[in-house]
Structure 1
Amino acid sequence: MLAFIRYSVPDARTGEFVASATGILKLFSLQDGYRDGQLGRSADEPELWALVSRWEGAGFYRRALSAARMEMYPLMTLMLNEPSAFEVVVSEP
């Protein structure tokens, strides 16, 4: 499954955000079912960021969110309120 958590980050908070998001990815990497993750920034809207990760299933992702909640808490005000968990329907190597 794919997880996309999008954030709207003002320029003044970019450094703090990148450090925190990197910490979240590191915590995710320690969780069961984690495959990989990335932090990306929109090429067209530089304040828009995405924390993307892949998991063996939705349950693994939801448990990882719980484990990382303290690390994620400071970024909650920057998070866009939208669904973040997506089931893979088609995959190409």
Structure 2
Amino acid sequence: MSLVVVTRYVVPEAEATTFRERAREALDALQAQRGCRRGHVGRSMDEPERWLLQTEWDSAGAYRRGLSSYDVKMRAVPVMYHALDEPSAYEVLVEGGPDGLADFDSDRSPSR
């Protein structure tokens, strides 16, 4: 089962150019990790001070291992300053693709 990580940020307009460069660096470091499938840096069309960094991983374990990388820690920390304090990792339960929809069981324990 794959994992989608969406981290949202609030970035003042005056810092947008610097943030974009740092977010690009963070994404580059994350993309280099084993198990990272793809990622995006985006900016809201309606509220330009709102940004996101989205990545997709093979598994929660791959994501955790990727975060522990020295390169990720060094290149992603400057971006985290603007991160909103909210949940960011989501397990994929339904996925759409060329062959239609596919359902997946949750990896969460039933007691949660």
- TM-score, structure 1 length as denominator? 0.93
Residue 72 of structure 1 corresponds to which residue in structure 2? 76
Q: Residues 22-79 of structure 1, C-alpha deviation per residue, up to 9 Å, x if partnerless?
A: 1111111110101000011111111010100100011111222222122122222211
Would you tell me which structure has more strand in proportion to its own residues? 2
Task: Report whether the alignment pairs 1:50 with 2:52.
Answer: yes
Structure 1 vs Structure 2 CA RMSD: 1.0
SS at match of 2:68: helix
Task: Report whether the alignment pairs 1:87 with 2:108.
Answer: no
Partners of 2:14 and 2:23 in 1: CA distance: 15
SS at match of 1:36: strand
Structure 1 gap ranges (5+): none
Q: After the TM superposition, list the runs of 4 or more consecutive aligned residues in structure 1 that deviate by more than 3 angstroms.
A: none
Partners of 1:65 and 1:13 in 2: CA distance: 25
Q: Which structure has more RCO (C-alpha within 8 Å, separation ≥ 6)?
A: 1
Would you tell me which structure has more helix in proportion to its own residues? 1
- TM-score, structure 2 length as denominator? 0.78
Identity rate, percent: 43
Which protein shows a greater Rg? 2
The count of aligned residue pairs is 93
